[in-house]
Amino acid sequence: MLTGRLFFMLLRVALGVVLLSDVSTEPAYTEVYQSPVLVAGLSPINTNLTTSFNFNEFAITEFWFVYRTIFSDTKSVTAVDPLNCASRDTCSSYFMPGTPEKLVSDQSQPSITTDNFTQAVSFIQHDAPGFQIDFFPVDLDDPPISLQGDCKLYGVSNIAIQICLKAVNNAFVAGKPAPSCCFTDASMERLPADNDGRVCMFEHDRLAAKRSREYENGHHTASSDNGFRSLQPNDYRHSGHL
Amino acid sequence: MFSVNQSEPYYDLTAQYLMMTALHSDINGDGRRINSFDIGLLGSLLDLQQLLAAIPLLFNSMFWELPVALDVSMGKSVALAIPRYRVATPPMKKSAYL
């Protein structure tokens, strides 16, 4: 009887220590097989692609394939801590490491079959470049946006969209004009504007500079400061079934 | 991608035109007005972010499986790994006296 009571007293103390202590877990990865690759990650933006054969046709298809689900496609994009602002409360940041399907492996290496490394369901990409995009709000008037210089109108006679994009230091400011200012001198076409005046420049968003990141067991640290097109090698660990 | 030729017959059935109409709806938030859960109409902002994020992914030689410039370091190795969890090390706290 006394032994049982003593046991429960000690158990209560032990549970109290565990519950009150700040214990958290983090993912860790044990590598079981490594192989050299010829090309992996994402390369710098290549605008020459627009001149390639039938790019427009294919680009539209691919654009729709990725556009609406790009942030929820965990094979292509993962949410990370922002580099250019203080917290996730005001920012949203995403890292795009490229996908395993696109890497070019070294064909001289032995093939991995379904019988090999069946426990290894995570894929680690070493020293490959990627893109990090930080979105954070900017002021209405700073930096100023010029309709003539920074905004472009796309569309036809009955429907159009106007998007403003401006390079500011190592970032881009992007958004759409308010309905009251949806004119351009060049075309004098007017966007189908909302009558409630709801849409305004507060929807500006900044596509900010990216820096490389080194992913190490769940912790990541920023390294050199690079512009939008600059890339640095990094390790990216993609957890999931291959 | 946005080039719509209105002089063509059935231009309103082309992929370019349909993309324009869908983007117009997304960016202006037209399709979201009936969604009462979209507080602050942040869904429209998310669409704008998706549009911008798709650009580096789409205009990328890797995406189209094309050759990459030789002066760009494009990865050295890949590895298969077994995922686990371990007790996290608490972050170092800065001293108030520093």
A124 and A167 fall within a common domain: no
Report pLDDT digits (tens) over A190-241: 333 333 322 222 223 333 333 333 333 322 222 222 222 223 333 444 433 3
Is A131 in contact with B49 (Cβ distance < 8 A)?
A: no
Structural domain includes residue A4: no
**For chain B, domain boundaries:** 11-58
A151 and A171 fall within a common domain: yes
Is A119 in contact with B82 (Cβ distance < 8 A)?
A: yes
Q: Reduced to 3 states, what is the DSSP secondary structure of residue A81?
A: coil
C-alpha closest to that of B12 among A91, A159, A173:
A159
**Other CB atoms within 10 Å distance of the CB of residue B45:** 20
C-alpha closest to that of A127 among A30, A214, A240, A229:
A214
Q: Is residue B39 less than 8 Å (CB to CB) from chain A? A: no
A48 and A107 fall within a common domain: yes
- Whether the CB-CB separation of A124 and A188 falls below 8 Å is answered with no
Q: Is residue B9 less than 8 Å (CB to CB) from chain A? A: no
Residue A224's Cβ-side half-sphere holds a number of Cα atoms within 13 Å equal to 9
Structural domain includes residue A173: yes
Structural domain includes residue A103: yes
A153 and A128 fall within a common domain: no
Report chain B residues whose CB lies below 8 A from the CB of A119: 82
Structural domain includes residue A27: no
Could you tell me how many residues make up chain B?
Answer: 98
Domain extent, residue A42, equals: 37-137+214-239
Q: What is the largest CA-CA distance in chain B?
A: 75
- pTM for this prediction: 0.67
Report pLDDT digits (tens) over A28-59: 899 999 988 888 888 888 888 877 777 777 88
Report pLDDT digits (tens) over A112-151: 888 888 888 888 888 888 888 888 877 767 777 777 788 8
Cα–Cα distance, A162 to A151 (Å, whole number): 7
Q: Is residue A18 less than 8 Å (CB to CB) from chain B? A: no
Q: ipTM of the assembly?
A: 0.73
In chain A, how many domains are there?
2
